[in-house]
Chains A and B, each alone.
Chain A
């Protein structure tokens, strides 16, 4: 084999090797989440409200739970009590 061919073959191999590195062009940067491998988790609204608390929603109903939380968030705004 001539030196040129060797170089050509090596170059071709090199290119192939590089292709195997996972180099991707910048433009195609979309993030794909790795698949979560852990245990499953229950959703908060699938629980029943506490017997002793004031917070109430319908078990399993996400909207009522969200409304409950939104109302509770307002406790962090003193203006609701001060009635400015």
Chain B
């Protein structure tokens, strides 16, 4: 046996390479290497059965595919983030044995991140940490019960609470992980119960985006798509860590970058996204408005704004310019954000010289007390540069969960019914009672008097709904019961107070595939009062899901619900039966029924997802154009992904082999708005507000939502500004039957359409005739107006910089204070200034001198219990940590890798490992938010049900985060608070 002899040159060169590498490697240690220390023991404990000496892994299927057993391939969509990567799931004998990438998908082209590549774990039954059967908390222990017993006890308790305190004593926290049909059903379910107290993850994610952006120009969603970045010349990531939060979107970003697109990243942390940037700007967390207006200052000063675009399509830019030039001079900007003028100017110049360009954001902009202003500042910047409404430019808003867009659009929101019909407008209820085929009067009587028109509480404040004094809240009872339906608790701030709220609750029901930290937190402080019901995952049901770019994709059911889990809509229906509104849930009245029952798991009835889409959603959501996406069209798209062009998302041809549906002209997933009924075959709208296209081609204008004129200034678009081929070439208001008659287009409606459309607007005409005729004439049903740079109905008409409630700079707090306190906001008293003043008076900036910010990791998602129960992901990130700058660490005597206590003004303390890195500046620290399962140093494993706990547990950063909310939407201020770090 010979040893390999290498030639002399190779040997010498090898050592040079080795020397080179070792010098580099010695400098820094990457996150993974840092954390792998305890990996083995942890893994050995958790999955000991998988470590035999001869390395035999467990095969799922009896035989390899292709040999025996019925094999099917089901096409589904990853359930993690809003990019919407398609997955082909190979199922053999009902067992999910493999997953294959879908190269045909125009959205992800077969690519996945760690989470998408690991979804098959959800279909594995051995070593599964899912909640397998219903459990009830009894004597401090989780006792297994039957579904029937669970339903019986829960409904009895709920009905008793309703009798004593009214329907508003219940808060239904819904989910952004429900598919569109389930989201819509849950919205209905809460209303049939009789309360507006329902919400979901969008509140704590992009609620400020939706509010701020919609108020600017009409719809509060991503204006273009991830794919459209390939057509862009510059991307400004301001508040997005796409490399970790939307990894596959980086495929489009990096492709664009290689083809000449500039990438600028502005972030307090040097993130992995920043590592791919051409330009990186490190600014102080929370000072986004100052940064954006600092850039805008240079844009105006050098005359780089698109004057014609502003004149034609924007209202109020002159007022903004006046304020920006006076208030945000370079010295003031630098004082607030900590970045020299030269860098800000460089950003402005790059944007000005590389148009069209995008501004991209996620939580970095949205989770602040003035976030409604921050997002509008971003809009204003894009409007000033003339970017909005064209391919390659605009506001690319990266949404979070896989269906947070859909849930926001049509799901359980406290202030809107599906399609953003506001609850405080009686017409919304009339419209939806018609669509849902329920008796309006019956529905009104379900509500406590005067509560139907009042937006409910938000998920970010439910704890105050429990704890606050009764006379201070704007509803009869305090909250007594809560449903955590597909939502984690550790993503909301003020964890210490949440524990107090849980002590006071009469009832908590958690409906989730995983017990979630709710179970552990509740069991820590209570002996009884909680039920955990195992819900099925989205792979165990079919339904549509809306990606961030507004495309809808249809998921096929991969496997039957595992263990004793049931689909969410089956649970909704079965609970509705117990609570007395099952017929209304299905829209069963007067011999008609919107939603048929189909056989689900075990032969039990559940509402049909296709019927829900077709008869509820498609029939009712005229405002945002969820009407054209019929199940048939969506399924045809899923079968023929290869015909869609990746840059434009358009199908140039193609016919579906199964149904004969002609795909020509459709945009992939029929991105909303897809106006009109499915019959008129609107292709969807890939880029919003694009006037270069005909409306039947995906183009349209800015929405006329704010009136015709303001203070004598025209709010509608100027003469000559309209979408391509429009018969009306000037600004026009939104369409209704009166307008149609005036124009002489009324007679183009069919007789049937006329019957329905008489007396209606484009938003509640169930025939779709108004929209059809209007679009035939090339007009947008929602009008043709200007975007508003000044939103006069918001507390801050022009975005203002306001210091975070817990700010490290008392001098700036004096100059840029938070809003005044509000007596009632979303039914609760909400403090702003007084909290900020108290923090300054208490000298919190000295006691807690470091800024604490939190954010994402690529391996985990959301509250994290689902991903931390997946061994393939859990192995990659086993400890929670705090990123701390070497100087800050040295000043405190902290070493890399050792445990530290992080304390905040909330009074809580977190035990995490210190990761000493230059990623963060000396004044900032970062903790990821995906962990839970430790409470101030104590492992909460004993409080989880047997066999249903995450493999990796850690401190939840939100246990220690502080009070702070957005003035308009009650978004929590998670991105900026204060902390102190000390050795453990």
Contact = CB atoms under 8 A, between A and B. Distances in A.
Task: Check if A and B associate.
Answer: yes
Interface of A: 26, 29-32, 34, 50-52, 75, 78, 81-84
A42 to B, nearest CB: 13
B4 A31 contact: yes
Given A31-B5, A52-B65, A78 B71 contact: no
Interface string B62-88: 000110000111000000000000000
Contacts of A34: 1-2
Q: For chain A, what secondary structure do more than half of its interface residues adopt (helix, strand, loop), or is it mixed? A: loop
25 contacts: A26-B5, A29-B7, A30-B5, A31-B2, A31-B4, A31-B5, A32-B2, A50-B65, A50-B66, A51-B71, A52-B65, A52-B66, A52-B71, A52-B72, A75-B103, A75-B109, A75-B110, A78-B255, A78-B646, A81-B109, A81-B646, A82-B255, A82-B647, A83-B646, A83-B647
B55 to A, nearest CB: 15
A52 to B, nearest CB: 5
Nearest to A79: B255
A51 B71 CA distance: 9
Q: For chain B, what secondary structure do more than half of its interface residues adopt (helix, strand, loop), or is it mixed? A: loop
Nearest to A76: B110
A6 B110 CA distance: 78
A78 to B, nearest CB: 6
A29 B103 CA distance: 47
Nearest to B645: A83
Interface in B101-139: 101, 103, 106, 109-110
Interface of B: 1-2, 4-8, 65-66, 71-73, 90, 101, 103, 106, 109-110, 230, 251, 255, 259, 645-647
Contact of A29 (B5, B645, B647): B5
Contacts of A83: 645-647
B672 to A, nearest CB: 24
Contacts of A30: 5
Q: Most B CB atoms within 10 A — which of A30, A50, A52, A84?
A: A52
A34 B4 CA distance: 10
A23 to B, nearest CB: 12
Contacts of B110: 75
Contacts of B109: 75, 78, 81
Nearest to A81: B646
A11 B183 CA distance: 92
Contacts of B72: 52
B106 A81 contact: yes
A29 B2 CA distance: 10
A32 B2 CA distance: 7
Contact of B6 (A29, A52, A82): A29
Contacts of B259: 84
A83 B65 CA distance: 34
A60 B103 CA distance: 27
Given A50-B66, A52-B73, A78 B1 contact: no
Q: Which 7 A-B pairs have the closest CB atoms?
A: A29-B5, A75-B103, A50-B66, A81-B646, A82-B646, A52-B71, A31-B4
Nearest to B5: A29
Nearest to A24: B5
Nearest to B103: A75
A83 to B, nearest CB: 8
A84 B646 CA distance: 11
Contacts of B6: 29
A30 B6 CA distance: 9
A52 B75 CA distance: 13
A75 B642 CA distance: 12
Q: Most A CB atoms within 10 A — which of B103, B230, B645?
A: B103
Given A31-B4, A34-B1, 10 more contacts: A26-B5, A34-B2, A50-B66, A75-B109, A75-B110, A78-B109, A78-B251, A81-B109, A83-B645, A83-B647
